[in-house]
Amino acid sequence: MPDSSRPIRTAAVIPAAGRGVRLGPGAPKALRALGGTPMLVHAVRAMAASRAVSLVVVVAPPDGAPEVRSLLDEHPLGGRTELVVVPGGETRQDSVRRGLAVLPDDTDVVLVHDAARPLVPVDTVDAVIAAVRAGAPAVVPALPLADTVKQVEPRSPGEPEPVTGTPERALLRAVQTPQGFDRETLLKAHETVAVEGEGATDDAGLVERLGAPVVVVPGHEEAFKVTRPLDLVLAEAVLARRRATDGYV
């Protein structure tokens, strides 16, 4: 039972251990610069911007934890947010699990946020936290799709692929992060749900397999994931606009 005499403690886990293969050759994606500052630093600040978040756990590339620690020390948060760095694993799911493993026992609400979504607005972060605090065990920010989606029989790259179906677009949502969870629920999902191969790309998906309810709240266009080179162009443009209009650093 949660102890109602102490404040709810919210922590954010930021998986940042990926290589960023789709972005092309270079440093690990989270360490690449956006407006002169590493993407990871923007992502950490985006979580710390929420007054509710008292701890941020960064999951660094497996052999890069000391480097990430000193990088973050060079960009201090300036608030009271505690920062912990742990080494990541082979898959995103592995990396998230390693981050969850160091959360203090008194953590109630956990956010899991991709380092690759450096520009998520604090209002989106707060809306996710609020929905978890209101009783949803798993909360996902998401947006309606612009493109129609086809299901196919995958073939080798470049080969025509037979279409097997067209889900109704109005029923689909593209999910973002931070995803928010009741900590017990997320730990149980990571401990009990086994996923083959590449692992889960989405923590809420694990909770769904557990059979627990997952809800969607409105996401934000600026919470897009930097995945391919064109996304970097868009991120630089969003950042430049923010710096020009609201003094964002």
* 195/202 Cα distance (integer angstroms): 11
59 touches ligand CTP by CB under 6 A: yes
Binding mask 204-243 for ligand CTP (x = CB under 6 A): ---------------------x-x----------------
* 198/30 Cα distance (integer angstroms): 19
Distances from the Cα of 117 to the Cαs of 69, 85, 145, 156, 231, in angstroms? 20, 18, 18, 30, 10
91 touches ligand CTP by CB under 6 A: yes
Q: Which sign, positive or negative, has the C-alpha torsion 70, 28, 97, 217?
A: positive
Binding mask 26-45 for ligand CTP (x = CB under 6 A): ---xx---------------
The secondary element (H helix, E strand) that includes residue 85 is strand 82-87
With CB under 5 to 8 Å by kind, the binding choice for 228 among ligand CTP, Mg ion, none is: none
Q: Which is nearer to ligand CTP, 9 or 97 (CB)?
A: 97
Q: Which is nearer to Mg ion, 30 or 210 (CB)?
A: 30
Q: Evaluate whether 87 touches 28 at the Cβ level (below 8 Å).
A: no
- Let me know if 139 is exposed, middle or buried by CB neighbors in 10 A (0-12, 13-18, 19+): buried
Pick the stretch among 15-23, 159-167, 185-193, 231-239 that binds ligand CTP (CB under 6 A): 15-23
The secondary element (H helix, E strand) that includes residue 155 is none
Alpha-helical (H) ranges within the chain are 39-48, 65-74, 92-100, 122-133, 183-192, 203-210, 229-246
Structure tokens that stand for 43 in this block: 């992502």
Exactly one of 9, 42, 45, 92 binds ligand CTP (CB under 6 A); that residue is 92
Site residues for Mg ion, 18-57, by CB under 5 A, read 18
Q: Which is nearer to ligand CTP, 108 or 219 (CB)?
A: 219
Exactly one of 73, 90, 191, 198 binds ligand CTP (CB under 6 A); that residue is 90
With CB under 5 to 8 Å by kind, the binding choice for 109 among Mg ion, ligand CTP, none is: none
Q: Evaluate whether 187 touches 99 at the Cβ level (below 8 Å).
A: no
Q: How far is the CB of 15 from Mg ion (least distance, A)?
A: 10
Q: Which is nearer to Mg ion, 30 or 212 (CB)?
A: 30
* 223/238 Cα distance (integer angstroms): 11
Pick the stretch among 19-27, 77-85, 205-213, 237-245 that binds ligand CTP (CB under 6 A): 19-27
Positions that interact with Mg ion (CB under 5 A): 18
Positions that interact with ligand CTP (CB under 6 A): 15-22, 29-30, 59, 88-92, 95, 114-116, 225, 227
